A = this chain, B = another copy of it.
């Protein structure tokens, strides 16, 4: 379970809530944000020449994929692998390139595209076992889904149909398994979204994590030629993975404490409201009162280990 810590950290939230143009700071500070540390058992340090990327895994939506990925990390499988297929504005794909051919050294895994999640309990029996979901609503009738929202920091979407489904959405920083046309063909190759959210891939890929720190590092990953579908032929032209480690396998004082704003907290809810209703005088044309789930930053701050 994540550790929780309530911190009065108004300046930071202001900085994130503001657009970068110089207009005055919001009058009231948001002092009721709760900050969580992700579970070290589901936090990954991806080490590149370009820097360190911190990834949070999501066993709720992709239990099998997360287990599989953690096993590969444990086996040091990704050490010395590279980002071999990188298209600017779209995705950076890494792994042993098994996605390109038919030879798989590692067994493939079952697809985890969405989960069952009724919007409401359907009867009294279900109501008894019903738990308050960590769903923080963001937008109804989003272009790509009937409902969008956050589930413990992850951008997600829901639909009432077929008894109720929920899925993680493709946003910048989203991590999913690559595959060929077969749904269950994912094996070792994964991709990180590095451009405008390719939401048409939602419910079609096993999203199993997201970048919580170091997207600037990810953006420095070497690009491939669009003409060749992003594939980088030359070794020197690629970004290489020096290693991948689970935070829990790293000594406490070496861990990176990435504090993530609790998307279920009152403070975050206020931030959403403010973002939706932009009332300051910077705006001469009132923006539509809508939110793109992939354009709502979840505040994060890095501290040295607290141990």
Contact = CB atoms under 8 A, between A and B. Distances in A.
A81 interface: no
Nearest to A173: B89
B100 A22 contact: yes
Contact of A142 (B143, B199, B229, B287): B143
A258 to B, nearest CB: 13
B88 A179 contact: no
A295 B195 CA distance: 8
Given A88-B216, A172-B89, A180 B23 contact: yes
A240 B145 CA distance: 41
Contacts of A282: 180-181, 204
A164 to B, nearest CB: 15
Interface string A264-298: 00000000000100101111110110101011010
Contact of A91 (B16, B20, B172, B284): B20
A160 interface: no
A52 to B, nearest CB: 14
Contacts of A198: 19, 295
Interface residues of A, number: 73
A210 interface: no
Nearest to A189: B21
B90 A20 contact: yes
B226 A15 contact: yes
Q: How many copies does the complex hold?
A: 2
Query: Could you say which of A93, A281, A282 has the most chain B C-beta atoms within 10 Å of its C-beta?
Result: A282
A87 interface: yes
Contacts of A180: 21-23, 282
A130 interface: no
Given A20-B229, A21-B180, A197 B196 contact: yes
A126 to B, nearest CB: 25
Contacts of A262: none
Contacts of A287: 144, 199-204
A227 B143 contact: no
A284 B112 CA distance: 12
B278 A200 contact: yes
A288 B144 contact: yes
Interface string A11-26: 1100110111111100
A284 B191 contact: no
B21 A285 contact: no
A96 interface: no
A111 B285 CA distance: 12
Interface of A: 11-12, 15-16, 18-24, 85, 87-91, 93, 99-100, 111, 113-114, 139, 142-145, 171-172, 178-181, 183, 191, 194-204, 215-216, 219-220, 223, 226-230, 275, 278, 280-285, 287-288, 290, 292, 294-295, 297, 301
10 contacts: A20-B91, A21-B178, A89-B172, A196-B295, A197-B295, A199-B287, A201-B287, A204-B284, A204-B287, A219-B219
